Every structure is written in C-alpha cells, then in structure tokens.
Amino acid sequence: MRYVHMQCLQHWQAQLRATKGLAAARRCDVCKARWAKCYQPPAVPTDWRTMLRDVFRSVPWPAVLECWKFSVLAIGALQGVRAGVEGFRCGMQWAAGASRHNLEELARWAPEMALAAGTVPPLKAPMALCLVAFVTGLAAQVALMSIVCAWAGSVAGFASGVAGCLLATLQAGAALLRQSALAASAVASGAGRLAAAAGSLAAPIVMALLKTLAFTRLFA
C-alpha cells in the first residue's frame, strides 16, 4: 500500500462498486483479501444513484430468475396434472356413455349366443373368441379415449398455468411500477411543499433584514 495513491485506490474501489457491487469493492480484485479498515470504502453511498445501484447489484438476479422459471414450470405442471386428471375422467365418462348401446346389445344377445353355442358345440369356440374381441375392443376404446383426453387436458392445463403465471408476473410488475411512481410523485410533492413553506417562512425574515440594512445605511 506504500506505492498506491489513495485517490487511485478510491477511484478503483468506486469502479468496482459501480460494476460489481459493494462486496467486491471491499476486497482486493487480485488476491480477494479484505482491505484494512482504514482503506475500506464507505458503506453508506453518497447519493441515491449509488444506493440504488448497490441494492440492485446485491440481489442475486440469476438465482431469482431460476426460481421464477422453476415456479412458472411448477405451476404449469400442477395445472397440467389437474387438467389431465379431469380430462381422463371426462374421457372415461364419454367412452362409457358411447359404449352403453353396444353393452346393451351384448347383454341382449348373450343368452341367445350361449344357447346357440350349447346347441351347436362347434360354435362355442368362435363365439367365445368373438365375445373376447368385442369386450377387448370396448376396453381399448375406453382406454384410448381416456388417454387422448388426459393428454389434451395436460397440454391445455400446462399452457393455461404458464400463461396465468406470466400474466400475474406482468401485473405484479405493473403494480410495482405504479406504486413506485406514486411514491416518487408523493416525495416530489412533499419536497415542493417543504420548499414553499421554507420560502414563505424565509421571505419575511429576508425582508426584515433588508429593511434593517436599508435603515442602517440611511442613518449611517
């Protein structure tokens, strides 16, 4: 430190603070060791721009962005699972309703088919195969319709969840900007009122001083 100008060190620390934040300015950029107490930069910034810059640079924005992405995907996944389950249930109900007529026909023709198979033994095996194929087809229809409805519901639910989360983020950002603008306008109006009040209080005092000075010069 004997060969470093204090002004150059302070300028270097100011550059580090502006580019990397206050924590980086308190350590050497080469060996990463903390500066001695007498060489530490001031913790309190000198102006509000530096304060805002320090606040923004102290926030781990990559981690915040990753958390936001994870929350968006998690909300979309949960919404997709919920919509997929609902679609699966609706698909089963629709397929069961569509297969009701075939089941009623099967229930009506089953006794006659059993009687025919008992009367003509060679027809027993073909009728059993037809019955198995019929039942398998109905089950495949129900399963296929349920899977299709579940997939469509999952995709629609995921898209709806992600869109809702993005919309909520935009609304929160707009509300934050509006509140910031209102706070800034309130501070500006308060400063204006304070300046006006100070001017109204200082005006009589200044006038009295001017009158006193004028009378003093008049009678001097």
pLDDT digits (tens, 9 = 90+) for 124-177: 787 778 778 888 888 888 889 889 999 999 999 999 989 988 898 888 888 888
Q: Mark whether 24 and 69 lie in a shared domain.
A: no
> Phi-psi region for residue 59, left (φ > 0), alpha (ψ -120 to 50) or beta?
beta
Q: Mark whether 119 and 52 lie in a shared domain.
A: no
Q: Mark whether 120 and 35 lie in a shared domain.
A: no
Q: Mark whether 100 and 80 lie in a shared domain.
A: yes
Please give the share of the chain, as a percent, with pLDDT higher than 70: 65
Is 126 domain-assigned? yes
Q: Mark whether 13 and 122 lie in a shared domain.
A: no
State which of 39, 58, 77 marks the end of a domain.
Answer: 58
Q: Mark whether 158 and 208 lie in a shared domain.
A: yes
Q: Mark whether 66 and 45 lie in a shared domain.
A: no
- Strand (E) or helix (H) holding 121: none
Q: Mark whether 36 and 98 lie in a shared domain.
A: no
Q: Mark whether 29 and 65 lie in a shared domain.
A: no
Q: How far is CA 214 from CA 200, 202, 204, in A?
A: 22, 18, 15
Q: Mark whether 98 and 136 lie in a shared domain.
A: yes
Q: Mark whether 119 and 190 lie in a shared domain.
A: yes
- What the block records as the tokens of 46 is 């000198």
Residue 151: domain span: 61-219
Is 93 domain-assigned? yes
Closest CA to 76 of 168, 145, 149: 168
The string of pLDDT tens digits covering residues 60-117 is 778 888 888 898 899 989 999 999 999 898 888 888 887 777 777 777 777 777 776 6
The string of pLDDT tens digits covering residues 9-63 is 666 666 666 666 666 666 666 666 666 655 555 555 556 666 666 667 667 778 8
Closest CA to 104 of 145, 141, 138: 138
Q: Count of domains in the chain? A: 2
Residue type, 174: A
10 C-beta neighbours (distance < 10 Å), count: 14
CA distance 107 to 101: 10
Is 1 domain-assigned? no
CA distance 147 to 134: 20
Q: Mark whether 38 and 130 lie in a shared domain.
A: no
Is 144 domain-assigned? yes
pLDDT score for 142: 85
